[in-house]
Structure 1
Amino acid sequence: MFRSFNRRFIQHGLLFCTSALGTGYFGQYILKKNKLNAASPALHTPEIWLDDFPTREVQIDAMSNESEYDIVVIGGGATGCGVAVDAASRGLKVALVEKYDFSSGTSSRSTKLIHGGVRYLQKAIMQLDREQYHMVKEALYERGNLLKIAPHLSYPLPIMLPVYKWYLLPYYYAGIKAYDFVSGRQLLRWSYLITKKKALELFPMLKQEKLVGAIVYYDGQHNDARMNIALAFTAARMGANIANHCAVTKLIHGDIKVDNAQGQPEIKKIIRGVKCFDRCQSMKISLRYDIA
């Protein structure tokens, strides 16, 4: 009887959800398609692609002898290494320095999850919020990208949601099923119900009192630190000079002649580069960048 009621409840719930979200999904598809069609490729391509990864000594030596860079990146986290890859892929001359080790800070301390956001979908449905819905779709799209470009570092992760009130079981299940349908082509695996007995077999330490069952759905898990290091290595193979344990100790200032708001020439102070200290070889390095 419960299964029959559960099935009817889910069918009606899914019909409502798909009807409400279908129009928004189609509109977002057209918008994203137009954006992709309007996008233009990079004007430059990397001049080199190294077959062998250069050693740290080679990188430091290159930094010491290079006169000027197009861009100097301070920080070897996810953002810094991502900027280095992007710039190097466009043919720019790039240097990156990190005070400690790559991904030693925030970039290695995430939840390790790559998810579309079940709670965002709940708000999108309950509050009829298109922005929340678009956020879910974008997150699901990026989750699919990570699983595609780095399958050795990303993989589907089953997540079990225990339920302790019988009337919440069909409610949560309908919401998770809506999440499955919204995932579309990015769906990892279908969610499903499991009994109280099966849930306790999987997690014996789970609270047994009033447990009525559980729901299993899938999101992604990601090795953030390894991905960060892969970005750093990719930038190096594209010709960027990168170095960890190389701290910035001082900014190098310079003067530039510019016109002010009245059209009169004036001298403006700018940052022309940085001075670094390589903690591994106990040597000083100056990195300057071209402002032309």
Structure 2
Amino acid sequence: MAFKKAVKGTILAGGGALATILGLSQFAHYRRKQMTLAYVKAAENISEPVNKDPPSREAQILTLRNTPEFDVLVIGGGATGCGCALDAVTRGLKTALVERDDFSSGTSSRSTKLIHGGVRYLQKAIMKLDIEQYRMVKEALHERANLLEIAPHLSAPLPIMLPVYKWWQLPYYWVGIKMYDLVAGSNCLKSSYILSKSRALEHFPMLQKDRLVGAIVYYDERKGEGERESDRDRNINDETESLIGCLLHAPHGIEPTTQACALTGNRTETSWFVA
């Protein structure tokens, strides 16, 4: 009797799980279809392509000096600053961006160039039952997929190998990385997998061989390859902002200094006075 109940419960649980998976897959298909229709509708509203050249540096500086007020002033022309300026100007805000040295010459030039969802954050979400950490990983993985779709010339999947030196860590890390793939869902770049010790050493001969058990390979996304791609990414973003209507200013032909940008004057309820 107990055996029949166990079998019945297993069948019901399996059927429920199967129905849930089918329902989620149908919902994902519906969302993708709606997104495709939205792209088609947006394309129909485009009357003519943008084919004009961005304004000259002198013209932009003159406009900066002669414009009494901007809706948004972005200080710093790194990855975050350029992204904020682009987002602001595409929302119809009168936007200006100023940079002390050259665009992406500071922190943005020294980053790992990884576009990742955050494996560590997912670990915290699971270990500490933190729903906010999970949502952050989910959103980051979604944006990772968006970037790869809209800018495949600036980003690409990057395999990352994690060497393992203890037997118990192999299944532990494997489960964690598979959870990372699962959270990504349809946005998963490539499925993670396990490498044997010999294969890991074949790829990376300089690995420490003592007590090496194997390795786990998972995929995230990289942005560019070195300085050339970083400059290309930056220039494309700057030109896009200029064509749309953002004013850009960075001093050319000067040596980097230790002076910082400064806000002077008084803060009012509606604006900042900037010198």
TM-score (normalizing by structure 1) = 0.65
Match among 236, 240, 243 for residue 242 of structure 2 = 236
User: Deviation digits for residues 211-244 of structure 1, max 9, x if unmatched?
Assistant: 1211111111124944444333222111222111
Cross-structure match for 2:264: 251
Write the letter of the residue equivalent to 2:150. Answer: I
Within 2, Cα distance between the matches of 1:157 and 1:231? 22
Post-superposition shift, 1:176? 1.6
Compared with structure 1, are the counterparts of its residues 231 and 167 closer, same or farther at alpha carbon in structure 2 (3 Å cutoff)?
Answer: same
User: Deviation digits for residues 42-66 of structure 1, max 9, x if unmatched?
Assistant: xxxxxx9562122212322333444
Retained in 2: the 8 A contact 1:164–1:210? yes
Compared with structure 1, are the counterparts of its residues 121 and 73 closer, same or farther at alpha carbon in structure 2 (3 Å cutoff)?
Answer: closer
Retained in 2: the 8 A contact 1:76–1:232? no
Within 2, Cα distance between the matches of 1:101 and 1:160? 34
Retained in 2: the 8 A contact 1:107–1:228? no
Retained in 2: the 8 A contact 1:51–1:237? yes
Within 1, Cα distance between the matches of 2:74 and 2:132? 33
Question: Over aligned residues, Cα RMSD in angstroms?
Answer: 3.6
Retained in 2: the 8 A contact 1:253–1:269? no
User: Deviation digits for residues 182-234 of structure 1, max 9, x if unmatched?
Assistant: 21011000111111111111111000011121111111112494444433322
Retained in 2: the 8 A contact 1:72–1:273? no
SS of the aligned residue for 2:92 comes to: coil
SS of the aligned residue for 1:274 comes to: coil
User: What count of residue pairs does the alignment treat as equivalent?
Assistant: 227
For structure 2, the residue ranges without an aligned partner over 5 or more in a row are 1-16, 32-48, 253-259
Post-superposition shift, 1:253? 5.7
Write the letter of the residue equivalent to 1:238. Answer: I
Cross-structure match for 1:104: 105
For structure 1, the residue ranges without an aligned partner over 5 or more in a row are 1-18, 34-47, 255-267, 276-292
Trace 1:2-81 onto structure 2 (pairs within 5 A).
51-81=52-82
User: Deviation digits for residues 93-150 of structure 1, max 9, x if unmatched?
Assistant: 3222211111112222222212122222223333333222222211211211221222
Cross-structure match for 1:122: 123
Within 1, Cα distance between the matches of 2:54 and 2:138? 37
Write the letter of the residue equivalent to 1:237. Answer: L
SS of the aligned residue for 1:234 comes to: helix
Cross-structure match for 1:221: 222
SS of the aligned residue for 2:264 comes to: strand
Retained in 2: the 8 A contact 1:193–1:213? yes
Cross-structure match for 1:198: 199
Decide which structure has greater helix share.
Answer: 2
